[in-house]
A = this chain, B = another copy of it.
Amino acid sequence: MATFDITGIVQSLHAARHNWRQTQSRNSEAGNRAFPSRDALASIIDSLKGVLFPMRLGPPDLRQESEDFHVAHALDAALHALLHQVKRELTYNASVGDAGRQAIDEQALAAVRRFAAALPGIRTLLDSDVLAAYQGDPAAGSVDEVLLCYPGVLAMIHYRLAHTLYTLGLPLLARIVAELAHAATGIDIHPGARIGAGFFIDHGTGVVIGETAVIGERVRLYQAVTLGAKRFPTDAEGNLQKGLPRHPVVEDDVVIYAGATILGRITLGRGAVIGGNVWLTHDVPAGGRVAQAASREGALANGIGAA
A65 interface residue (CB < 8 Å to B) = yes
Inter-chain contact B303/A75, CB cutoff 8 Å? no
* CB-defined contacts of A138 to chain B, threshold 8 Å: 232, 240-242
In the assembled complex, A184 has its CB within 8 A of some CB on chain B: yes
A213: interface (CB < 8 Å): no
- The residue of chain B having its C-beta at the shortest distance from the C-beta of A14 within the complex is B68
A259 in the interface (beta carbon within 8 A): yes
> Is the C-beta of A96 less than 8 angstroms from some C-beta in chain B?
no
**1/0 contact string of A271-290 vs chain B (CB within 8 Å):** 00111111111101000111
Chain A interface size, under 10 / 10 to 19 / 20 to 34 / 35 or more = 35 or more
Contacting residue for A151 out of B70, B182, B240, CB 8 A = B182
Which residues does chain B contribute within 8 Å of A83, judged by CB atoms?
3
Residues of chain B lying within 8 A (CB to CB) of residue A71: 10, 13-14
Residues of chain A touching chain B, judged by Cβ–Cβ distance below 8 Å, are 2-7, 9-10, 12-17, 19-20, 24, 28, 31-32, 34-35, 37-38, 51-52, 54-56, 59-61, 63-77, 79-80, 83, 92-93, 109, 112-113, 116-117, 119-120, 123-124, 127, 138-139, 141-145, 148-151, 171-172, 175-176, 179, 182-186, 188, 190, 192, 202-203, 205-206, 208, 210-211, 222-224, 226, 228-232, 240-242, 255, 257-261, 263, 273-282, 284, 288-307
Identify 6 residue pairs between A and B in the complex whose beta-carbon atoms are under 8 Å apart, listed by A's number.
A10-B68, A24-B143, A149-B179, A226-B259, A231-B307, A291-B303
